Amino acid sequence: MTLDRFPDLAEMRVVDLGGTVEAWERAPVRPAHVTVLNLTEPGESASDSIVAVRGDACEAVPVLAAAGASTSFDLVFSNSVLEHVGGHANRSRLADSVHALAPRHWVQTPYRYFPIEPHWLFPGMQFLPLFMKARIAARWPLAHSPSPSLERATSAALWTELISVTEMRHYFPESEIARERFLRVTKSIIAIRS
């Protein structure tokens, strides 16, 4: 996230969908308040300015309300989560959460048509049939999170669906869709509403 897009970040109340407390504790600029919502391990913070809530980002408003956390923020931040929520219906629900929580957002996801699948660092893996993805996920040594069994590798492959610019525009129709590039090739896409 760039400060030129959000120069007042240090004064903002931010909700991070899918992030970790640790990432915000290491951030070069820390917002006035951060709520981290993560399905598995948001982490813990000794700081009153960072609140961790465990729950589904696709159901962010009711989950945050049930936890006694705020449901109104200045900015929604989400980095590499949209591709892991489980299909179009859940991506739509996540986008609805983003729109409901704040007037501004920064939502990044790896680009489907980048030649190397970023989670396994395997060329073209995102275009292969599931049985091949699972076998690669189970054996490929460069995986972001290696899978100890074929069953777990299949699950990891099923939970990872890279999306296109057209899909991103559908989920965030009033946002600018920015492109992160590597060697002039689009690597990631970002829905930005500043």
Domain boundaries, the chain: 9-112+162-193, 115-160
pTM assigned to the model? 0.93
Res 8: pLDDT: 94
Give how far the C-alpha of residue 111 lies from the chain's centroid of Cα atoms, to the nearest Å: 12
Contact criterion met (CB below 8 Å) for 175 and 99: no
Positive or negative, the Cα torsion across 186, 20, 171, 129? positive
Q: Which fold has domain 9-112+162-193?
A: Rossmann fold (3.40.50)
Which secondary structure element, helix H or strand E, spans residue 192, and what is its range? strand 185-193
Res 1: pLDDT: 58
Res 142: pLDDT: 84
User: Going by C-beta distance under 8 Å and a sequence separation of 6 or more, which residues neighbour residue 113?
Assistant: 164, 186
Q: What are phi and psi of 150, to 5 degrees?
A: -65, -35
Contact criterion met (CB below 8 Å) for 137 and 156: yes
Contact criterion met (CB below 8 Å) for 57 and 37: yes
Q: ∠ at Cα 146 (143, 151), nearest 5°? A: 120
Which of the residues in the chain have pLDDT under 70?
1-2
Res 25: pLDDT: 93
Res 165: pLDDT: 98
Res 143: pLDDT: 78
Res 145: pLDDT: 72
